[in-house]
Amino acid sequence: MTTFDSRSLGQASELYDLTIAELRPAAEGVVSLELRAPDGADLPEWQPGAHIDVLLSNGIVRQYSLCGDPSLRDRWRIGVLREPSSRGGSSHIHEQLRQGDTLTVAGPRNNFRLVEADRYLFVAGGIGITPMLPMIRSAAAQGKPWTLLYGGRSRRSMAFLDEIAGLAGGETHIVPQDEMGLLDLQKFLGQHQPDTLVYCCGPGPLIDAVEAKCQVWRAGALHLERFAPSDRAARKEKGSFEVELARSGQRLVIPPYRSILDVLKENGCQVTNSCCAGICGTCLVKVLSGVPDHNDDVLSIEDQEAGEVMLVCVSRSKSELLVLDL
Amino acid sequence: MVDVRRVRGGDGLAEINDELDQILDSVVENTRLATESFFASYDKNPDPKVLAAWLAPRAWREIDYVFLLNEQIRRYGLEFERKHITLLAKQSFQEAEHYEIVGKAIESLGGKVPTSVPPEAKPWSDFLWDCLERHPLAAIAAWNCSETSASGSFEPTFKAGERHDFAEVVRVYKQIETDEKFHVGLGRQVLAAYAKTDHDRDEILRAMRGMRDIAWKTFTPESVAQARSA
């Protein structure tokens, strides 16, 4: 799943040259790639929700969710939708890559973790099914009740349907639009269920609709991953940037004249603070991804250079997106 | 990771930083010991009015800081950068909030919130105001030492709160603990930014040493007993 139209990696990551052990169609316009180390060695561990950066030979970098089984340590699997407006990312993968080719990747990184809950509702649109597959497997393995709402243009375009049919212990609703219309979000999200976490991945309109329905749910119940930066980001002013709250997937635009702390507070995210001047250090937040632009007076130069924490009252971002451990 | 004593913003304290840290470490430790001693005594006789009496000089400190900070700004503020005037005023506002919330905690324990300086807090208050008369940075040094001293009282207070279930006092002091990081960092930054001469540094050291010997005393059980018998 492509998450950002980025031509460079957001942070330093270890690179791996992996062999495409299998490349096969997974649905109309979707291919599944299984990647392995050339010597068959185990690959780094990952958890459901993780993604890798794929560095294509044409210089383009794309992010794709890992959609295989985390317990199979010698292989990673990704699903790639050929985007109609592709500018060399997914079209390159579909047209140029062949089984046996080598692909350079970085990661895995995880900004969409599966948080412990009594039950789960997974909402996927199109290729947004990819991060959901390992999440569902994990929920099923733990004996947690789960429900999957999976929508797509048509049954032929919906990837991994056979695999989904074999997942145990849950309730699956496959909704091809040409047969059944849009997902019935009101039915599943219209009423807050306190013991349930909602995970959603898909195109912008679906994410926006799910976000709107979840207004009545408790803060933190909804976890999102978008295919691309939100429309709000696309409309952003010069000097603004986006912050993603890793625990909920919520994205916020920080305008040039407002602090991250102010925008967090406005959106119901409480962060301890006092001075709002970069002196007390009480609003220290862990940075999971992106490059902070430090403006405080109290973090050591070493901590500032490491970029792993920041004070959200005064500091900003040198990258388009900061992912914070909130 | 965050040490507010190492806040950036000036190098006027470079020659005396080590000694200042020793003074502050000493007053934090003495305050911790005094607080532990108070709660050891309180464990034997957990009378809420005794706890209220222990909190009374704390409440006075909060409101006396408000008076002092505003007078500091009025007398010397225009020698500082505008951001420091703003931040000192912000500290003053937070101290007023602390007076209000500590006051409510005292009342919830059946005590009376001081509206004039309690006798046991008078040496502390007199020293603070004398410092203001002596030098533009001396009162800031004195309250910086006093504010730092309070950090020694937090953990023993929180532990006693669990034993005796005074959740409101703990809640109040959790907020004060957060704000005091700001106040301690701000004081250190102002001192480092505006101390230029050996005379400035001598006055800062004098104020800190003097407050080191005073700040912890109202945390002791003896101070509370004396106040209640008066």
CA neighbor of B167 nearest in space, from B48, B75, B59: B48
Domain identity same for A125 and A105: no
Question: Minimal Cα distance from A286: which residue of B?
Answer: B1
Domain identity same for A20 and A105: yes
Residue B48 predicted with pLDDT over 90? yes
Q: What is the pLDDT of residue A69?
A: 94
For residue A48, being part of any structural domain is answered with: yes
Query: Which residues on chain B are in Cβ contact (under 8 Å) with A301?
Result: none
Query: Which residues on chain B are in Cβ contact (under 8 Å) with A303?
Result: 1
Closest CB from A273, A277, A299 relative to B2: A299
Q: What is the CATH number of the domain that holds A256?
A: 3.10.20.30
- Cβ pair A300:B1 closer than 8 A: yes
**CATH among 2.70.98.20, 2.60.40.1220, 1.10.150.240, 1.20.910.10 for B14-229:** 1.20.910.10
Closest CB from A272, A273, A297 relative to B9: A297
Domain identity same for A149 and A220: yes
Q: State the ipTM, two decimals.
A: 0.90
Q: A272, A279, A284, A296: which to substitute to probe chain B, counting the most B Cβ within 10 Å?
A: A279
Strand partners, A65: A51
SS3 call for A6:
coil
Query: Which residues on chain B are in Cβ contact (under 8 Å) with A282?
Result: 178, 181-182
Give per-residue pLDDT as tens, B62-121.
999 999 999 999 999 999 999 999 999 999 999 999 999 999 999 999 999 999 999 999
For residue A241, being part of any structural domain is answered with: no
Q: How far apart are CA B82 and CA B88, in angstroms?
A: 10
Lowest mean pLDDT among A49-53, B14-18, B52-56, B104-108: A49-53
CB-based contact B101:B55 (threshold 8 Å): no
- Cβ pair B4:A281 closer than 8 A: yes
For residue A261, being part of any structural domain is answered with: yes
Q: What are the pLDDT tens digits along chain A (326 aa)?
A: 323 333 333 333 578 899 999 999 999 999 999 999 999 999 999 999 999 888 887 777 788 999 999 999 999 999 999 987 766 788 889 999 999 999 999 888 887 889 999 999 999 999 999 999 999 999 999 999 999 999 999 999 999 999 999 988 899 999 999 999 999 999 999 888 999 999 999 988 898 889 888 888 887 888 888 765 544 444 456 788 999 988 887 888 898 889 999 999 988 899 999 999 999 999 999 999 889 999 999 999 999 999 999 999 999 999 888 999 99
Domain identity same for A274 and A317: yes
Q: What is the pLDDT of residue A267?
A: 85
- Cβ pair B83:A277 closer than 8 A: yes
Q: What is the CATH number of the domain that holds A146?
A: 3.40.50.80
Mean pLDDT across chain B: 96
CB-based contact A117:A195 (threshold 8 Å): yes
For residue A311, being part of any structural domain is answered with: yes
Domain boundaries, chain B: 14-229
For residue A237, being part of any structural domain is answered with: no
Question: For chain B, what is the radius of gyration of the CA atoms?
Answer: 17
CA neighbor of A47 nearest in space, from A112, A119, A120: A112
Domain identity same for A84 and A125: no
- Cβ pair A280:B189 closer than 8 A: no
Bridging pattern class, strands A196-202 and A119-125 = parallel
Residue A161 touches partner B, C-beta closer than 8 Å: no
CA neighbor of B67 nearest in space, from B41, B44, B95: B95
Closest CB from B90, B178, B186 relative to A282: B178
Shortest Cα distance from A280 to chain B (angstroms)?
Answer: 4
Residue A275 touches partner B, C-beta closer than 8 Å: yes
- Number of structural domains, chain A? 3
CA neighbor of A146 nearest in space, from A193, A183, A204: A193
Residue B179 touches partner A, C-beta closer than 8 Å: yes
Q: Between vectors from CA A142 to CA A139 and to CA A148, what angle results, nearest 5°? A: 20
Q: Between vectors from CA B213 to CA B209 and to CA B219, what angle results, nearest 5°? A: 135
User: Sign of the C-alpha dihedral, residues A301, A304, A310, A313?
Assistant: positive
Tell me which residue range forms the domain holding A124: 119-226
Phi, then psi, of B65 in degrees rounded to 5: -60, -40
SS3 call for A106:
strand
What length is written for chain B?
230
What length is written for chain A?
326
Q: What is the pLDDT of residue A233?
A: 46
Q: What is the pLDDT of residue A7?
A: 30
CB-CB neighbours of A142 under 10 Å:
13
Give the A:B interface size as CB pairs under 8 Å: 57
Give per-residue pLDDT as tens, B129-179.
999 999 999 999 999 999 999 999 999 999 999 999 999 999 999 999 999
Residue A277 touches partner B, C-beta closer than 8 Å: yes
Question: Minimal Cα distance from B84: which residue of A?
Answer: A277
User: Sign of the C-alpha dihedral, residues B154, B160, B166, B167?
Assistant: positive
Q: How far apart are CA B60 and CA B227, in angstroms?
A: 14
User: Sign of the C-alpha dihedral, residues A10, A11, A12, A17?
Assistant: negative
Closest CB from A274, A297, A300 relative to B181: A274
CB-based contact A288:A208 (threshold 8 Å): no
For residue A4, being part of any structural domain is answered with: no
Q: What is the pLDDT of residue A156?
A: 95
- Cβ pair B185:A281 closer than 8 A: yes
Q: What is the pLDDT of residue A205?
A: 83
Query: Which residues on chain A are in Cβ contact (under 8 Å) with B7?
Result: 279, 297-298
Instruction: Give the torsion through C-alpha atoms of A292, A298, A303, A309, to 10 deg.
Output: -50
For residue A243, being part of any structural domain is answered with: no
- Cβ pair A279:B179 closer than 8 A: no
In Å, how far are B34, B177, B216 from B30, measured between CA atoms? 6, 18, 6
- Among the candidates A110, A129, A158, a domain finishes at A110
Q: What is the pLDDT of residue A10?
A: 37
For residue A10, being part of any structural domain is answered with: no
- Cβ pair B182:A279 closer than 8 A: yes
Tell me which amino acid residue A53 is: D
Q: What is the pLDDT of residue A4?
A: 30
Shortest Cα distance from A310 to chain B (angstroms)?
Answer: 11
Q: What is the pLDDT of residue A87?
A: 67
- Cβ pair B181:A284 closer than 8 A: no
- Cβ pair B2:A297 closer than 8 A: no
Tell me which amino acid residue A45 is: E
Q: How far apart are CA A70 and CA A77, in angstroms?
A: 10
Question: Minimal Cα distance from A295: which residue of B?
Answer: B8
Residue A270 touches partner B, C-beta closer than 8 Å: no
For A153-166, b where at least 16 C-beta lie within 10 A, e where not — what string? eebebbbbbeebee
Residue B43 predicted with pLDDT over 80? yes
Q: What is the pLDDT of residue B24?
A: 97
Q: How far apart are CA A3 and CA A51, in angstroms?
A: 9
In Å, how far are A11, A207, A267, A309 from A322, measured between CA atoms? 11, 20, 16, 11
- Among the candidates A75, A110, A145, a domain finishes at A110
- Cβ pair A300:B6 closer than 8 A: yes
Domain identity same for A308 and A260: yes
Query: Which residues on chain B are in Cβ contact (under 8 Å) with A298?
Result: 2-4, 6-8, 185
Q: Name the residue with higher pLDDT: B202 or A84.
A: B202
Residue B87 touches partner A, C-beta closer than 8 Å: yes
